[in-house]
Amino acid sequence: MNGPIVVGVDGSASSLDGVEVAAREAGLHGVGLRLVHAFGWPAAHIPHGGRPWEPSGAGMRELIDGTLAKAERRAHETAPGVEVMREIVVGEPVTVLEIESRTASLVVVGSRGLSRFGALLLGSTAGHLAAHAACPVLVVRGRPNPAGPVLLAVDGSPAARGAVEFAFSRAALHGTDLVALHVWSTRTERAYDSPADPPFVTYDEERLHDEEERVLAEALGGLRDRYPDVAVDRRLVRGRIRHTLIEASADAGLVVVGARGRGGFAGMLLGSVSQALLHHAHCPVAVVRSGQE
């Protein structure tokens, strides 16, 4: 990890939680922290990357500076030795953070942010970033618990290999256990929850269990040797994927999931399981796309 960690700052309580998580990650990795506030003018056409001027009598610049100063204080309280950079960029938050992701090692955002008018926005920025960012995206949900285990959602797809690598590296760095959870089903009932998701075909239960055990073992193959100090709790659970993962997240410090698993359609950038976790997990969620580890 060489690039800085970028965190979106908008003044909401959720974004301040994001600053705390991002600062802790930056301290552990020995990289800088960029506090980025995206400022969009409702009626002005300004090229992306320009700096906002002070609207007459509005005090907008002072307000934004105050928001970033508060975030910087939180960052220094969390990780005193981290180099913190503050940046105000003209543009919509999704676009600004997507561009920032091209040179970042990780982008952190809160799950609930504020619009320019102060209204709460639920996950629109987080979901888009998770699907389009050039680096892993960590969405802060609930109250972060750094001591909790890393929960890895294992699906066995080649695209999820980056998520497995990311989960092991985070568990090693934070000194926590890793729970590798693979959910399966033997019934013609859907292991997924959406009518668009493919149903499982009925198999012999014992045979299917053995096959899914192999999927779990192969997904972790090689990485257990590379991270010998990480205690791995392998769990093979029969049930509905989203429900099981959301329930398991209650005891985790972080959930790591691939952007799209083996049940998704080829054109989808963000799968239904990833989306469900972004909206309903009880702890922070890291979404890792193929090749981002």
Residues 194 and 259 both lie in one domain: yes
Is residue 214 situated within a structural domain? yes
Instruction: State the pTM of this model.
Output: 0.83
Residues 155 and 280 both lie in one domain: yes
Is residue 68 situated within a structural domain? yes
Residues 62 and 117 both lie in one domain: yes
Residues 96 and 169 both lie in one domain: no
Is residue 145 situated within a structural domain? no
Q: What is the CATH number of the domain that holds 34?
A: 3.40.50.620
Strands 120-122 and 84-90: unpaired
Terminal-to-terminal C-alpha distance of the chain: 9
Identify the residue with better confidence: 117 or 144. 144
With vertex at residue 125, the alpha carbon angle to CA 274 and CA 90, rounded to the nearest 5 degrees, is 155
Q: Tokens 């998520």 sit at which residue?
A: 163
Residues 10 and 108 both lie in one domain: yes
Q: Of 95, 107, 132, 161, give the one whose Cα is nearest residue 270.
A: 132
List the beta bridge partners of residue 140: 110
Residues 156 and 238 both lie in one domain: yes
Is residue 188 situated within a structural domain? yes
End position of a domain, from candidates 140, 158, 192: 140
pLDDT tens-digit profile of 170-183? 999 999 999 999 99
pLDDT tens-digit profile of 226-273? 999 999 999 999 999 999 999 999 999 999 999 864 444 333 446 788
User: What CA–CA distance (Å, rounded) separates 63 from 184?
Assistant: 50
Residues 122 and 172 both lie in one domain: no
147 confidence band (pLDDT: 50, 70, 90): confident
Residues 203 and 121 both lie in one domain: no
Distance of CA 226 to the CA centre of its chain: 23
Number of domains in the chain: 2
Q: Of 197, 173, 200, 176, give the one whose Cα is nearest residue 187.
A: 200
End position of a domain, from candidates 110, 140, 170: 140
Q: Tokens 């469900």 sit at which residue?
A: 276
Residues 178 and 107 both lie in one domain: no
113 confidence band (pLDDT: 50, 70, 90): low
| Residue 122 clears pLDDT 50, i.e. is over it | no
End position of a domain, from candidates 79, 111, 140: 140
In the chain, pLDDT over 90 holds for what percent of residues?
A: 52
3-class DSSP state for residue 233? strand
Is residue 27 situated within a structural domain? yes
Residues 114 and 188 both lie in one domain: no
Is residue 66 situated within a structural domain? yes
Is residue 50 situated within a structural domain? yes
Q: Tokens 């389009």 sit at which residue?
A: 132
At 32 the pLDDT is: 98
What is the number of other CB atoms lying within 10 angstroms of the CB of residue 215?
Answer: 17
Range of the domain at 160: 150-288
Residues 95 and 184 both lie in one domain: no
At 291 the pLDDT is: 65
* 94 close to 101: Cβ distance less than 8 angstroms: no
Is residue 293 situated within a structural domain? no
Residues 102 and 162 both lie in one domain: no
